[in-house]
Homo-oligomer: A and B are copies of this chain.
């Protein structure tokens, strides 16, 4: 029996293409069957879409997966990793048949979900639903900024910087709030370079989506301002026919629509044409089983006894992608070379950014502060950003509706916003650089990842530290990927005052430090803040910069016994030395509490207790130092140690040890001015002195 062939005349598919698409289906079934677990259903039913995208539609080059001019592909439905792996194999991006055979096993290139930097051709790690689509919005924003930064005057579609971001999203992606946030913003941003294909198969793990998902998705996207299309392969439930021509036309129309993002509702039947498990939740996340795999192969008209079968003709066809793309690539290269010749300054900037370099002497622009007045570290951060605006054109960012509170706006910078949505407060156009995420912290996190992944610019985004909770899903994924997004988290303790316990971080520093791969930096004063930014920009890691709302003293650097702020680069450093070479006690503090340690030191020293103050803005950077340096700062012999931080003590147990004490807060805050709160909750020099005496 032959499977009904897809309708694909206009796209020019011949029998080899049809065989290739069916090969995708059998490979998906075989790969899951071999390992015994995984997600076969979607990879089977989306075979024509994936093949069309990789072999016909997308501007990609298997010989050069990092090609600057490439389209970006985001498999937001990351559980269907085979949808991508099989195309990376067929197209010749670096995977081979044995990689598919080692799906989801130790050491393979084909883990359960696609992983950035693990598998060539994977642009982003996906799996946690919603993150992919939301990050794709960031990629589309980055693509627009890249275009306006390097080739603003080229007519539409003629620039080597013109490309499209393609997304495959599942029902699950469209239920997640992070997707709603990002999609609404994509509408405001009029991201015409973004195309989402929604695999509307009406099946999720709990079966038919009717049980929890009955909204009119396309009407919702119209409300967001998107371009919407529908391609129904079920023909209203009457007959399943894979109309690839209709799909290709929809993709073309979506790409042609450059003033709005596009979504295509592609109605499919999951696992079609598997004989009994198609259209069931059982085909979503489990192997089909021997009989069903046989039945699938019989339905496709291929040998039911063959496993991982790929005909030479199929592989020859799909691997010819590299040849087919050569003309396009050559045309692009010619355009790129012309651009480079015509715009040497911009080309030099691009080269610098692609090399991940910072310009010579850029740190000269960093401001410094004297001790004459107290400065909130959030304000210092704002001054740093403004100072860097001209020096680092790659740096851009904004806030989740707290620009004035997070101090995330570079003075004089225009906003990145379609001109018709610019406001009196925030003038701008599509070539601006101040970002406005709206009150959407989670999308902000995912978008920052998308911008950083797309390259070549460097994004940051701000909110209150408490609301890092809202964006934690995105922050974790950024940390897993190691993407250089910077989170500007201000209002970092009970020191924010009257807004009260809902807004006061208590556990957040500890909970964020717990995330592997994430760096947290909490500078003590304005000068530490500048060094923190210097290090963050030099290091290219996912980093949370944690800043005060309230003013804090600027320490007299290089005099009165205070060390230079450069020590921030090593994570922790001796800010004020004890009066004797071996201190009796070490006070370790971060951020706004360093001043308490400094004040406590005065009292202790006056009583003859040799007291060292260590400023420890980043425990992660400190952990990276060699053992000698760490011993210098925190000598093993000095067991009397006190940590001072306006958060839970959890981060500090390992540092202060059995003999140590932590001045901390282990409960929620309250609504009052910050002076009262610090006093009432025991953040005073006296409390630090008392803890030091207990520790001695």
The residues of A with any CB-CB pair to B shorter than 8 Å are: 35, 37-38, 78-79, 104-108, 111-113, 115, 125-129, 171-172, 175-181, 184-185, 187-188, 204-217, 219-220, 222-225, 281, 399, 401-405, 415, 417, 421-426, 436-440, 442-443, 466-467, 469-470, 472-473, 476-477, 480, 497-503, 506-507, 510-511, 513-517, 648-651, 653-654, 657-658, 666-668, 670-673, 676-677, 680
Residues from chain B with a CB closer than 8 A to the CB of A210 are 421-423
Question: Which of B175, B187, B657 sits near A658, CB closer than 8 Å?
Answer: B657
Contacts of A79 in B (CB 8 A): 499
The 4 closest A-B pairs by CB, nearest first: A177-B177, A111-B671, A212-B438, A127-B502
Residues in B neighbouring A443, C-beta threshold 8 A:
177
Q: Is the CB of A184 within 8 A of B175?
A: yes
Given contacts A104-B500, A111-B671, 5 further A-B pairs with CB under 8 A are: A112-B502, A113-B500, A113-B671, A210-B423, A510-B514
Kindly report which residue of chain B lies nearest to residue A403, judged by CB atoms: B206
Residues of B within 8 A of A507 (CB): 511, 514-516
Bound CA–CA A515/B666 (angstroms): 9
Taking the closest CB of chain B, its distance from the CB of A200, in whole angstroms, is 14
* Cα separation A180 to B653 with both chains bound (whole Å): 40
> In the complex the two chains form, what is the Cα distance from A248 to B130 in whole Å?
39
Indicate if the CB atoms of B501 and A480 lie closer than 8 Å.
yes
Contacts known (A128-B467, A405-B205, A436-B206); A480 close to B498, Cβ less than 8 A: no
| Distance in Å: Cβ of A40 to nearest Cβ of chain B | 13
What's the least CB distance linking A210 to chain B, in Å?
5
In the complex, the answer to whether A502 meets B113 with C-beta atoms within 8 Å is yes
Residues of chain B within 8 A of A466, CB atoms compared: 128
How many angstroms from the CA of A473 to the CA of B469 in the assembled complex? Answer: 5
Find A402's partner among B205, B222, B403, B422 (CB 8 Å cutoff): B205
A84 to chain B, nearest CB (A): 14
A474: nearest residue on chain B (CB-CB)? B469
29 contacts between A and B (CB under 8 A): A37-B498, A78-B502, A104-B672, A106-B671, A106-B676, A115-B500, A127-B502, A175-B440, A177-B177, A177-B180, A177-B442, A180-B180, A187-B214, A188-B214, A205-B401, A205-B402, A206-B402, A207-B426, A208-B425, A211-B417, A212-B438, A214-B421, A219-B219, A219-B220, A472-B472, A477-B502, A480-B668, A507-B515, A517-B667
- CB < 8 Å neighbour of A127 from B105, B401, B499: B499
With both chains docked as a complex, state the minimum distance between the C-beta of A33 and any C-beta of chain B, in angstroms.
14
A510 CB contact (under 8 Å) in B214, B473, B650: B650
Give bound CA distance, A256 to B185, whole Å: 34
> With A211-B415, A516-B666 in contact, do A440 and B184 touch (Cβ < 8 Å)?
no
Verify A281–B112 contact, CB threshold 8 A. Answer: no
